[in-house]
Amino acid sequence: MPSLLSHYQLCLRDGLPVILRPLLPDDRERIIDAFKRLSPESTYFRFWTRFRGVNPTFIDRLCAEDQGQHASWIIVIQDNDDVPGVGGGSFWRSGQDESLAEVSFTVADEFQGQGAGTILLAALWEHAFATGIRHFVAHVLESNHVMLTWWSSLGASAVLHPHGWEMKLTLDETALPDTSAANSLRHWLAFVRAAPPE
């Protein structure tokens, strides 16, 4: 399992050099700044509500180590501290089913469509699998067509609830379909496994 000191150098789809690494307690201000930069639409899709700023308790939970129950990974621009980050993703293990975790992603508006979500999913997949998690669940608003299409193209099953869709993905690479999104995920899973963390 990657340690808190692990980080990977790579490039987004447009060639931008970035670093993929676990979120650290020292990233608290970076995360606050990143959420403030989100558009109202991105904020709504992520939190299902419209507001500016994030509850400090939520930030503390994101940055805290949690012994395999929770992990967060982020992508930051290499050698550029002027921008707080490209995006981040987290998983939270279910209290009812140790093999299940809820996963969520936030990608800055200006970096959406560059493959950041898939890269983050690959890192979270490997991290979670090493702790015994075998399924990811994501909750997606009905109006978030981009995320619904993405999860579906990865082979996730879907159940409609009153406030949105529950998408469930099995962490089994052999079960991934032959789609562009799934092939991209396979690429980044291989990268995370093969590239030595620095």
Within a domain: residue 147? Answer: no
85 vs 184, more confident: 184
User: What pLDDT sits at residue 26?
Assistant: 82
Q: Is 188 left (phi over 0), alpha (psi -120 to 50) or beta?
A: alpha
Q: CA 82, CA 37: separation in Å to the nearest integer?
A: 12
Q: Note the pLDDT of residue 124.
A: 95
Asked if the structure places residue 173 within a domain, the reply is: no
Place of tokens 């501290």: 81
Residue 195 has pLDDT above 70, yes or no: no
Of residues 134 and 113, more confidently modeled: 134
Contacts of 194 (CB under 8 A, 6+ apart): none
Q: Is 98 exposed, middle or buried (0-12, 13-18, 19+ CB in 10 A)?
A: middle
C-alpha separations of 81 from 56, 61, 102, 138 in Å: 22, 23, 30, 30
What does the pLDDT read at residue 8?
93
pTM of the entire predicted model? 0.86
Q: Identify the pLDDT of residue 48.
A: 45
Q: Kindly state whether residue 113 falls inside one of the protein's structural domains.
A: yes
Sheet holding 157-161, edge to edge: 8-11, 17-22, 70-77, 87-93, 100-107, 135-140, 164-170, 157-161
Q: Residue 12: inside a domain, yes or no?
A: yes
Dump pLDDT digits (tens) for 126-178: 999 999 999 999 998 888 888 899 999 999 999 998 888 899 999 999 999 99
Q: Is residue 129 part of a domain?
A: yes
CATH number of the domain encompassing residue 12 = 3.40.630.30
Q: Is residue 157 part of a domain?
A: no
pLDDT at 6: 76
What pLDDT digit, counting tens, does each position of 27-74 carry? 878 777 766 766 656 554 455 455 555 666 767 776 666 667 889 899
Is residue 164 included in any domain, yes or no?
Answer: no
Residue 79 has pLDDT above 70, yes or no: yes
Domain count, the chain: 1
> Hey, what's the torsion of the CAs at 188, 164, 88, 21, to 10 degrees?
-50
Phi, psi of 147 (to 5 degrees): -70, -35
Residue 25 lies in a domain: yes
Closest CA to 163 of 144, 137, 184: 144
Structural domain harbouring 108: 8-133+183-194
Q: What is the mean pLDDT of residues 94-122?
A: 92
